[in-house]
Amino acid sequence: MVENKNNNHKIPKDHPRYQSLKYRHQIIEGMKCLVVTEAGLIAHGRGECFDYILGEKTSETAYNATRAAIAALLLAENPIISVNGNVTALIPKKLAELSNLLKIPLEINLFYGKKGRIEAITEMLESSGALDILGKEQSKMVEINELSSNRRKVDPKGIQKSDIVMVPLEDGDRTEALKKLGKTIITVDLNPISRTSLNADITIVDNIIRTIPLMIEIYKELKNFDKKDLEDILSSFNNKENIGKTLDLIIDYIKKEKIKLLNEL
Ligand code: ATP
């Protein structure tokens, strides 16, 4: 049972949309403790919509992109995982586990820099076990000229010196700016045609709540692979082709739903 603190009723586990409602409430609770912003709620809703038409499961294309992402992160010299409020509120423990296992720092990078938010996110990540968190001290940040939003402030020990940046649930502007700086971009985005998805080097079209645990599993499989094997995984992955196949999956899913509907007539 998940308690819905908004109107005091509980979501029974056998509710057909239990998982979706559970994460919706996590986002709402995240907003109450400053981790998530109002705009974050809207972004979550956009994600849910795409998840619905992807059948709310990890597709083969998402699996292949996740495998390529782990190969890229294992080959990287200075990888970094950029985190925002939604990612933190949705999957803090697994995010901390991933960061600790792969020894990749988490850098807090926010579009809405409301007072107290960085501290709230830091606290949630730390209490979930994250050991290496960057982006905490605003006075130590440097600015990247390619961006005008609050997100231009980056940690010199993190995003600034990184070769690969994982930017889950990201807005298109920053992805483009980071690409201009020569960074390799991995994203997790349920919308396969967002600007971020189209501009990234590796686009995982899946729900972050499934991607992070899957990354941990794949890491355990690939961690002892030699460099050549990891490079082979990467070179056999084509991001644009993979996004194209994901769009086909959405088309197929909608066609099947249409057939089901018409059969009921
Ligand atoms: P862009 O600027 O890249 O075209 P956008 O304006 O939609 O995209 P945002 O709303 O800032 O950018 O980004 C949020 C993105 O994250 C959306 O594409 C949304 O579909 C996706 N998203 C939201 N929740 C999740 C989730 N749980 N897992 C994966 N992706 C998600």
Consecutive 10-residue averages of pLDDT for the chain (265 residues): 51 80 94 95 96 95 98 98 97 98 96 87 98 92 78 89 96 89 96 96 98 98 98 98 98 94 89
Taking each helix axis from N to C end, the angle separating 208-222 and 92-102, rounded to the nearest 10 degrees, works out to 20
What residue owns the CA closest to ligand 1's atom 10? 43
Nearest-CA residue for ligand 1 atom 2 is: 172
Specify the pLDDT at position 153.
85
Question: Which amino acid is it at 8?
Answer: N
Give pLDDT, residue 7. 45
Pocket, ligand 1, Cβ cutoff 6 A: 43-44, 46-47, 50, 90, 169, 171-172, 188-191, 194-196, 207-208
Token pair recorded at residue 236? 């056999």
Read off the pTM: 0.94
Name the residue of 44, 46, 167, 204 to mutate for ligand 1: max ligand atoms within 8 A of Cβ: 46
- Mapping DSSP onto H, E and C, the string for the chain reads CEEECCCCEEECCCCCCHHHHHHHHHHHHHHHCCCCCHHHHHHHHHHHHHHHCCCCCCCHHHHHHHHHHHHHHHHCCCEEEEECHHHHHHCHHHHHHHHHHHCCCEEECCCCCCCCHHHHHHHHHHHCCCCCEECCCHHHCEECCCCCCHHHEECCCCHHHCCEEECCCCCHHHHHHHHHCCCEEEEECCCCCCHHHHHCCEEECCCHHHHHHHHHHHHHHHCCCCHHHHHHHHHCCCHHHHHHHHHHHHHHHHHHHHHHHHHCC
179 CB neighbour count, 10 Å cutoff: 16
Distance 227 CA to ligand 1 centre (A): 32
Provide the sign of the torsion angle of the four alpha carbons 146, 148, 153, 154, taken in this order. negative
Q: From the alpha carbon of 46, which atom of ligand 1 is closest?
A: 20
Q: For each of the domains in the chain, give its residue range(s) and CATH number, in order of start.
A: 2-53 (no CATH), 60-237 (3.40.50.12640)
For residue 9, what pLDDT is reported?
54
